Amino acid sequence: MTLTRSNRLDAYRCESGACLIEIRLRELRQLFNTLDPAPFHEKDLDPAAEEYIVSAVREIGAQPSRLVLHLPPGTTDDEACGAVTAIRNYFAGRARQAREQLRLLFGRGGISLLIGLAFLVTCLSARQVLLTSIAPGNAILSEGLLILGWVAMWKPVEIIRYDWWPEFDKRRLFERIAHIIIETQGGRMIERSQSALESRLAGA
């Protein structure tokens, strides 16, 4: 499997106004994780192929892009359509995972915020009690409670304000890849073959 990688946008080959993300395969199975026992349409991608596609789409950014699979000689239309379906299914699954992680993160952030607020209120209430007394050391204890209460709020604020963004970015990126235009060598759009295959299956 040959992956054409670059760190410059102008190094990608462009065609019809779109940057081409090209993968050249000696064998179709190179595209997939050989240890995955799942059916062909549900297989995980090879880690190197996944990392290349994700990095390339991220690098290209908002520019139009297409994924071009240079398939080995003898690849049938059914095999080509299956490869495209597997790629789309894989990244759609990764998008669902990122969406679920985002949901769990917000849930954990909300619970942490409630706990943090309850702890902060407790610390402030205890501080007010200490401030009403003139016993030695109460001033130090009251300031310690104030600091402790606000420190308890640090993690919830970090989750809600900062930690969600990477998961949101991954979800958006995976969704974009799941809907990217995929072509075979020679520029023939796989979607046409895939539609024909689905029509044949529907009529069977």
Residues of the chain with pLDDT under 50: 6, 186-204
Q: Give me the pLDDT at residue 34, please.
A: 65
Q: Give me the pLDDT at residue 1, please.
A: 62
Q: Give me the pLDDT at residue 197, please.
A: 39
> Cα separation of 15 and 112, whole Å?
50
Contact (Cβ atoms closer than 8 angstroms) between residue 120 and residue 152: yes
Q: Give me the pLDDT at residue 42, please.
A: 65
Number of Cβ atoms within 10 Å of the Cβ of 129: 11
Q: Give me the pLDDT at residue 90, please.
A: 92
pTM of the model: 0.70
Coil, helix or strand for 143?
Answer: helix
**Could you give the number of structural domains in the chain?**
1
Range of the domain at 22: 2-203
DSSP-derived secondary structure letter, 32: B
Tokens for 172? 């958006």
